[in-house]
Structure 1
């Protein structure tokens, strides 16, 4: 039996975490003994972890990546606190000098780089170690494994990082897994020298599980809303384009479409900024942030249209879930969009702009037959893909 380690940050609600749960649910435990290393044992998905895995104990130093600087100082990890301060100062400086819209990715790189000397190694030796969420420094530098694999969940060509710093890390891995062909290609646009290492394994989906959860009774204000209901399930972050969504709804209201409401399930650092934007545009009754939900599927089911207004994606887990629930789907034309939706068949792709999102919604709002056809095509598509795991077994 092979010894396998999978490492990630925590089990907070998110697409990456849902894809990890699905993978673990369908894993081959007859041939693999799986240890899961979570830097912090927190998040609503903790209780969804299958009992066939071994959850390793928290290591205090690694929990700092999910703590504030104040908390780190309180825990007396002074060196790590200093590394966090330095990473923030340097990233902010680079952001201002180079006009980087989102320096957070670079800051995360620096956080790990500066903290590495103060992080302990894992003593156990593994046949294979899998790093599930970037940056992959823990598995790259602190794990002893015969083979190392890293996962790509986003479109790295759109993310501002230090390429040379990243390359040193990526070179430590034997294989790099992208969640779609488009995700692989966008990654290679930035890191072309790694072409021979990058493979595609799609996110594992669990259609029966999703359909069953969608029927759960939850407190859902959408059930009493007679308007045309849009839904987005996403982190409240720059990448997900929720600010675009607010402005797109305002455009529609200005055009006379008063009978549309937009619900967002999710949480994140941009919540206050978004609430201000909603209020400024007089959309408090129409654009509704529902917050964090362990089970987003009843909300998806209650909607008339699923919309993904993202600036970039690897392959959005939630779009696939909406398709499993036979919902018409509208996504922006981010670089990997074509790998997610067959435009006009199981979803629609609109221009990646505020006007483009508004126009896409308007078109589908007016075309009820078109929406029905998209939903019917999703209903007749088999989204079962557990066979994707065989590709991982071949690498491990």
Structure 2
């Protein structure tokens, strides 16, 4: 039996966490003994963890990464709290000299750099250690394993990092798994020296599970709503472009298409800003934030069109899930978009702008024949891909 460790932050509702659950549900437990290290045992997806996985006890010091500086200090982790204060200060000071336009990612890198000496190691030695979510410093520095693998879920060409600092971390890994070919290409443009380490393995999807979950009842009366319904499932963050979605709906209403409503399943730090834009554009009854939902599939099932208005993605899990539910899909032309849909076959790709989104939504709203074609093409595709795990097993033999 191979001893395998998989590490991630928590099980809050999100695409990466859903893909982790799918991977764990399809894992080979005959030949692998799997430990799961979560920095924080929090999140609505915790009950969905496969019972064949051994969930390691939460370690107090690592749980602080999901807490505020005040909470961290209050709970007795004074030094870790101070490293957070230091990283916040240095990110602003050094970020300017590094020509970074935003310091959030750099601050997280510094936070781990200064916290690492005060974080405990795992005693157990593994055959394989997998770090499922960036930053990967825990597996890189605090785990003993014969082989180490890091996962990348996003488009690294859009993220501002301290490259030298990141390379020191990436070089601790034997392999780096990208969730799509485009995700790999974007990563290698930034880190070309890592070419030999990077492999591609798509997120695991389970059509049977998704279709079953889509049958569940929902409290909201979306199914009875006779408007043309758009749905997006996304964190309320800059990357996901929900602010552009609000402005696109305003443009559509200004064109007289007031029968269109946009529902968003998700939560995040930009909620207040997005609600402000909704109010400024008098769209309170038409652009509806549904909040966090453990099961987003009934909402996708109820829509006429699934839209992913993102500024960047690695490979959006929810787009494939919408295709599994045979929904016409519209995504913006983010750098990895062409790895997500075949334009005009199983989805449409529109210009990444407010007007680009509005134009293509209008096109699909008026063209039922096109929507039906996209729907039918999705029905003819088998989206199950448990076989992708064979790629991982070959790396860990």
The alignment's TM-score, normalised by the length of structure 1, stands at 0.98
- Paired residues, number: 396
Partners of 2:29 and 2:148 in 1: CA distance? 19
SS of equivalent residue, structure 1 residue 232: strand
In structure 2, the partner of 1:390 is 390
**Structure 1 match to 2:54:** 54
Contact 2:177 2:200 in 1 (8 A): yes
Query: Aligned partners of 2:96 and 2:239: how far apart in 1?
Result: 19
Question: Is the 8 Å Cα contact of residues 133 and 151 (structure 2) preserved in structure 1?
Answer: yes
Q: CA RMSD in A?
A: 1.1
Q: 1:376 to 1:95 in 2, by over 3 A?
A: farther
Classify 1:52/1:188 alpha carbon distance in 2 versus 1 (closer, same or farther; 3 Å). Answer: same
Q: Which deviations, in whole Å up to 9, do the C-alpha atoms of 1:57-109 show, x marking residues without a partner?
A: 00000000000111001111111101111222233445667775543211211
Task: Please give the residue correspondences for 1:72-111 in structure 2 after superposition, counting only pairs within 5 Å.
Answer: 72-93=72-93, 100=100, 102-111=102-111
Give the CA deviation at 1:350.
0.2
CA distance in 2, matches of 1:88, 1:343: 42
Equivalences for 1:1-396 in 2 at 5 Å? 1-93=1-93, 100=100, 102-396=102-396
Q: Distance in 1 between matches of 2:46 and 2:386?
A: 22
SS of 1:37's equivalent in the other structure is: strand
TM-score by length of 2: 0.98
Give the stretch that moved more between structures: 8-17 or 93-102.
Answer: 93-102
Runs (5+) with no aligned partner, structure 1: none
Q: Indicate the SS of the match to 1:221.
A: coil
Whether the 8 Å CA contact 1:155–1:183 is kept in 2: the answer is yes
3-state SS in 1 of match to 2:117? helix
Deviations 1:97-130 (A, max 9, x none): 7775543211211111111111000110000000
Once the two structures are overlaid, the 10-residue window that deviates more, 292-301 or 248-257, is: 248-257
Q: 1:151-194 deviations in whole A, cap 9, x for unaligned?
A: 00000011011000000000000000000000000000000000
| Mapped partners of 2:211, 2:95: distance in 1 | 43
The 1:41/1:317 distance shift into structure 2, 3 A limit, reads same
Unpaired stretches in structure 2, ≥5 consecutive residues: none
Per the TM alignment, residue 221 of structure 1 is displaced from its structure 2 partner at its CA by: 2.9
- Assess if the C-alpha contact under 8 Å between 2:262 and 2:286 holds in 1: yes
- 8 Å contact from structure 1 (residues 304, 327) kept in 2: yes
CA contact (8 A) 1:13 1:293 kept: yes
Residues 1:332 and 1:93: Cα distance change in structure 2 (over 3 Å): farther
CA distance in 2, matches of 1:176, 1:100: 25
Contact in 2 for aligned 1:94/1:103 (Cα 8 Å) = no
- Identify which range, 100-109 or 113-122, moves more after superposition: 100-109
Q: Deviations over 1:234-291 (max 9, x none)?
A: 0111100001101111111111111100000001111111111110111111100000
Aligned CA distance change for structure 1 residues 252 and 92 (closer, same or farther; 3 Å): farther
Cα separation, partners in 2 of 1:91 and 1:221, compared to 1, 3 Å: farther
Q: Assess if the C-alpha contact under 8 Å between 2:10 and 2:39 holds in 1.
A: yes
Partners of 2:46 and 2:17 in 1: CA distance: 10
